[in-house]
Amino acid sequence: MTEILVVGSASGFPVPGRGHYSVLLSTSDKSLLIDVGEPCTRSLIEAGTALNAIDAVLLTHGHADHTGGLPMLIQTLWLSQRVEPLTIFLPEELSAPLQQWLDAIYLSSNFIPFEIKFIAWKTQHFFEVCGLQICPHQTTHLESLSRKFGNNRFKAYSLQIEHPDFRILFSGDLGTPTDLEVPLANPVDLLVSELAHFSPTELFRFLVTRRVQKLLLTHLAPELLGNEASIIQEARKQLPEMVVLIAKDGLRVPL
Ligand SMILES: [Zn+2]
């Protein structure tokens, strides 16, 4: 059975009872971890996940709330006697600095017995990962950095994940919901969307004409927490055909 486990559902600001962004996608025989906001490893253990079953890590972008849990994940895999290589897919600009970070804290492949492979995303290029086809789509989330520093180095991605039985889209972090225009040209069974950088109304208005069967909202801005019931009510009005769920840590969503 394929399912999504919400490992961490907070936005970039810490709140009680929620870890930062991390989601585990499990099929009958494979597990992919999408982003590693801390404390994802402890949360995975609390959820009863066999850590050594994680086949690959997919990073959407470099912000700390999506990458900060990487060292403890590697350290825990090492202490769990992992020997299988671990592949980390990531924006190209993160590849060398993350390897240096792991090396500085004795967790690179120089120190531990399993290989860590880094593979850089190429936008709108399909990658085969554990029998799934994964296509990264660049979002405008980091555009202000590119404007400020005058280059095109900073990349944030949405991840489209395809399997003969399902199609899922992880929004990653967005600039605006319209960043999802291209990956939502085709219907999806599940959209996992962030809700930290625009209002629920903006997102729902954009989704009215999209073919999304189930919408899982996560990464809610702190000011939206506590307003879940009214967000669901608004979704029912604007998107009556769509199943809409709001994430909390530990929530499992079957496909
Ligand atoms: Zn974020």
What pTM does this model have? 0.96
**Does residue 153 have a pLDDT over 90?**
no
CB count in 10 Å sphere of residue 242: 18
- 12 C-alpha vs ligand 1 centroid, how far in Å? 5
Residue by residue, DSSP assigns 85-144 as: -EEEEE-HHHHHHHHHHHHHTT-STTTSSS-EEEEE--TT--EEETTEEEEEEE-STTHH
Task: Give percent of the chain above pLDDT 70.
Answer: 100
Indicate whether 236 pLDDT > 90: yes
Whether residue 1 is predicted with pLDDT greater than 90 in this model: the reply is no
Structural domain range at position 181? 3-254
Q: How close is the Cα of 111 to the center of ligand 1, in Å?
A: 30
Reported as a pLDDT band with limits 50, 70 and 90, residue 234 is: very high
Does the pLDDT value for residue 156 go beyond 90?
yes
Could you tell me which residues come within 8 angstroms of residue 82 by beta carbon, excluding any fewer than 6 positions away?
51, 52, 113, 114
Helices 200-207, 228-238: crossing angle, 10 deg rounding: 20
pLDDT at 41: 98
What domain count does the chain have?
1
Residue 244's identity, in one-letter code, is: V
DSSP 107: -
Task: Give yes or no for residue 147 having a pLDDT over 90.
Answer: no
Quickly state the pLDDT bin for 161 (edges 50, 70, 90). very high
pLDDT digits (tens, 9 = 90+) for 17-68: 999 999 999 998 899 999 999 999 999 999 999 999 999 999 999 999 999 9
Ligand 1 midpoint to CA 123 (Å): 19
Ligand 1 centroid from CA 200, angstroms: 16
Q: What is the DSSP string of 197-242?
A: SS-HHHHHHHHTTS-EEEEEEEEE-GGGTT-HHHHHHHHHHH-TTS
Task: Say which CATH number the domain at 205 has.
Answer: 3.60.15.10
Ligand 1 centroid – CA 193 distance (Å) = 11
**Which tokens belong to 121?**
């995303």
